[in-house]
Amino acid sequence: MQPTRIQSLFEGLKRGPAPAQGRLGPPNDRESASISPRMLDKSAPLCGRVQKRAALIAYITAGDPSPERTPEIVAALERGGVDLIELGVPFSDPIADGPVIQRGADRALRAGTNVPKVLEMAREIREHSQIPLLLFTYMNPVLRYGLEKLAADAKAAGIDGCLLTDLSVEEAGGYMGAMRSAGLDTVFLAAPTSTDARLKLAAQYSTGFVYLVSRTGVTGERTALSDALEPLIARTRAVTDLPLAAGFGISTPQQAGVVAKMADGVVVGSAIVRMIEKNASSFEKCEAELEAFARALRDGMAAE
């Protein structure tokens, strides 16, 4: 089976630069304003692949502040150096999320966002970009849409994998079968409270990477990193060779730099969603700030 974009990203980070796989041919004016400079340079690495660098992963709530703006938000983040987008499906009861992402979900729902519209956004993103896309959602929207239907439609829309925050790994057999049959990655969460047996199972069922929750509790910006992250990384590395990405509570370039020295991927979410919230009425300012923030995160991750 052909590797997914997520798998290719992490493999490229491990092996060093590889040729870009962007859209062939010169872009038109609209495209040149929205796609990453890496896609204009055919000698540049796909998704910013550079040897011995952790991947920068950005979470956004699809449809926040509107479905029309989401593809442009992705483009701004990619221009700033983001390697992978977690495309969050808004849900009315987001139990894993703190107040910032809860408000983002509420704005997206009020804008009419649902699973079909999220897939439409993915298709639009794919018209201009090959950045890996991970669908980030809860079980309820998936069950309502239909598991096998979602797997097939997500693949057709250009989604590369899925993470269900509230799906127990012990009950994931049917979900995994549907996703794997469609050629999608399955990413599972592991937390500081996970037992060794649960860590091993989450790693066994994951493809692409394992998502490490750096602290107990919900998503949100924190002033300091959790002391529980480094031991969690060590425990997980003992049971898998898969890349490890860490998230929850990472919100500054300095924090991203610390995590990048331990993990294979750094996930930033609430800080980005807060920036979108702050600039919801001014898209040009929002786009510029998101691009600058992504670049600052990348710089922080590269600092010695």
Sign of CA dihedral 154, 38, 46, 304: negative
Could you tell me which residues come within 8 angstroms of residue 241 by beta carbon, excluding any fewer than 6 positions away? none
- Best CA proximity match to 115, nearest among 56, 162, 48: 162
Neighbours of 40 (CB within 10 A): 15
Measured CA to CA, the distance from residue 141 to residue 147 in angstroms comes to 10
Whether residue 31 lies in the annotated active site = no
Distance of CA 64 to the CA centre of its chain: 15
Measured CA to CA, the distance from residue 273 to residue 219 in angstroms comes to 11
Is 48 within 8 Å of 77 (Cβ atoms)? no
* Marked catalytic residue, from 97, 185, 287, 291: 97
What strand order describes the sheet that includes 84-88? 185-186, 161-164, 133-137, 84-88, 55-61, 265-268, 244-247, 210-213, 189-190
* Marked catalytic residue, from 64, 72, 83, 86: 86
DSSP symbol at 281? T
DSSP secondary structure string, 222-253?
-SS--TTHHHHHHHHHTT--S-EEEESS--SH
Whether residue 97 lies in the annotated active site = yes
What are the residue numbers of the active site? 86, 97
